Structure formats: C-alpha cells, structure tokens
Amino acid sequence: MTHAERADLRLTPVRRRVLEILLESHAAMGAYDILARLKADGLGDQPPVVYRALSYLVEHGLAHRIERLNAFVACARPEDAHDPAFMICRTCRSVHESTVATPLDHAARASGFEIERTVIEAEGLCPACQEPAP
C-alpha cells in the first residue's frame, strides 16, 4: 500500500500523472516542463492545471518545491513528516534530499519557538558533474 493510499489522498488522474512525472525525473522540474508532458499525455494544457496538482502534492507531502530553482521534485520520504535539506547540482539540476538537524532547531527548542517550515538548499556539483581529479 502506498503512502497516498494509507493517507487516503485523492489522486486524480492529473495529480497522479504529475507525481509520476516527478518520480521519473532525477532532476528538479519546472511547472512548464511538467505541463508539456501533461499536454503530450492529453491531460491538460493550461498552467492552472499543473499548478493546482503541484500545490496539492506539496501540501500533502508527496512533492517539494525547490525555491532556488523555482522547480519541483518528488518527496523521497513521503511517509515521514520532515523538513528536508536539498543538495542541488548547479550543472545537471539533480536534487538529493536529506534531513539534517540544524543549530536553528536547537535554538528554536531552547527558546520555545515552534518552527513550522524550514527550507535548506545547498548548491554545488554532484559526483557525476565534478571534474575528475588529475
């Protein structure tokens, strides 16, 4: 049983296809790239179609918005509530999702502040895009 089934999420054909498109890609995808795929599949050609689907997937933890790229990726751990940290390759746009405890988390706990959302994005080069050592 998938996370979506356990959480009783309503995955319409468009939402399901957008999630599949994100899962097929190992790089962050812009909304218009996703829209082009939806159009090719006959599932819509208007921007609101993809933005509504992406909004739903992000809201329910099945996808993440990569602020730095204004793009989206499928969540690597949808069954766990978490604030992910992203390592973004500046060359191929691949995105690796991780979770980290930050000094900010410790400071928030110490002061009684409740963090509702944290976005951590690191940009660099993935192993495949790094130049080989001489």
Q: What is the pLDDT of residues 88-132, one digit of tens each?
A: 999 988 899 988 777 888 889 899 999 888 888 999 999 999 977
pLDDT computed for residue 66 by the predictor: 94
pLDDT computed for residue 115 by the predictor: 86
- List, by residue range, all CATH 1.10.10.10 domains of the chain: 3-74
- Per-residue pLDDT of 45-102, as tens digits, reads 999 999 999 999 999 999 999 998 999 999 988 888 888 899 999 998 889 998 877 7
CATH architecture of 84-129: 2-Layer Sandwich (3.30)
Distance of alpha carbon 58 from alpha carbon 117, whole angstroms: 12
pLDDT computed for residue 133 by the predictor: 60
Q: Which of 42, 20, 16, 18 is closest to 32 using CA atoms?
A: 18
pLDDT computed for residue 1 by the predictor: 44
3-state secondary structure of 59: helix
Q: Which residue has the tokens 């049983």?
A: 1
- List, by residue range, all CATH 3.30.1490.190 domains of the chain: 84-129
1 vs 14, more confident: 14
Cα 21 → chain centroid: 12
Structure confidence at residue 6 as a pLDDT band (50, 70, 90): low
- Topology of the domain comprising 3-74: Arc Repressor Mutant, subunit A (1.10.10)
Can you say whether the dihedral through the CA atoms of 73, 75, 81, 84 is positive or negative?
Answer: negative
Distance of alpha carbon 86 from alpha carbon 49, whole angstroms: 26
On whether the CB atoms of residues 43 and 17 are closer than 8 A, the answer is yes
- Per-residue pLDDT of 15-50, as tens digits, reads 999 999 999 987 899 999 999 999 999 998 999 999
In eight-state DSSP terms, residue 27 is: B
